[in-house]
Amino acid sequence: MSRYKKTSALKAIGKRLKKQREKEKLQIEDVVEMTGFTYKKISDVESGEETSLSYFIEICLAINIQPKDILDFNVGFKPRFILSSTRKEKPRLTSRLIESINQGFFKKPRYNSEVVIKLKEDFGVVSSSSNVSAILRRLVDEGRLEVIKGHNRNQYYKK
């Protein structure tokens, strides 16, 4: 599997670093001496090759510029992938489950399947049992719910 690179952003950063170095009347060899990095490393970064944040920061310091000033350019506002509807729904599920706790739904022990039905009835939410189960386990870890461990099924309740 190949490693992902945001090539356009890396090239823009490299150009800005080179421009600043030249503005400061520094040669790559000067930056090598100030950072302890190799000539090839500095050249690669200026050419838009992948680098670590630590290298980037040290190069910025050597050429007398704050990293934020090099990064001050528009890369757009779209993520690489769109957030899945399942993932979007999880924070809403959590808040709806907390609302159900506060309304007393968990005064008596409830199976996961009952919670799924309750979410559908009260909020019109159709969610997978596994998503609800993961959130219920987290609410137990946070101390908001208690669990009665069963052989195949757990029950959740609020003391």
89 with 152, same domain: the answer is yes
Question: What pLDDT does 2 receive?
Answer: 67
Q: Which residues contact 156 (CB under 8 A, 6 or more apart)?
A: 106, 109, 110, 112, 115, 136, 139, 140, 145, 146, 147, 148
Residue 77 lies in a domain: no
19 with 53, same domain: the answer is yes
Question: What pLDDT does 1 receive?
Answer: 53
Q: Which residue has the higher pLDDT, 88 or 104?
A: 104
Question: What pLDDT does 102 receive?
Answer: 94
**Residue range 60-91, pLDDT digits in tens:** 999 999 999 999 988 888 888 888 876 777 67
Residue 75 lies in a domain: no
CATH number of residue 143's parent domain: 1.10.10.10
- Average per-residue pLDDT for the chain: 92
Token couple for 155: 């029950």
Q: Which residues pair with 155 in a beta bridge?
A: 111, 148
Q: Name the residue range of residue 33's domain.
A: 7-70
- In the structure, what pLDDT confidence band is assigned to residue 126 with cuts at 50, 70 and 90? confident
**Residue range 42-62, pLDDT digits in tens:** 999 999 999 999 999 999 999
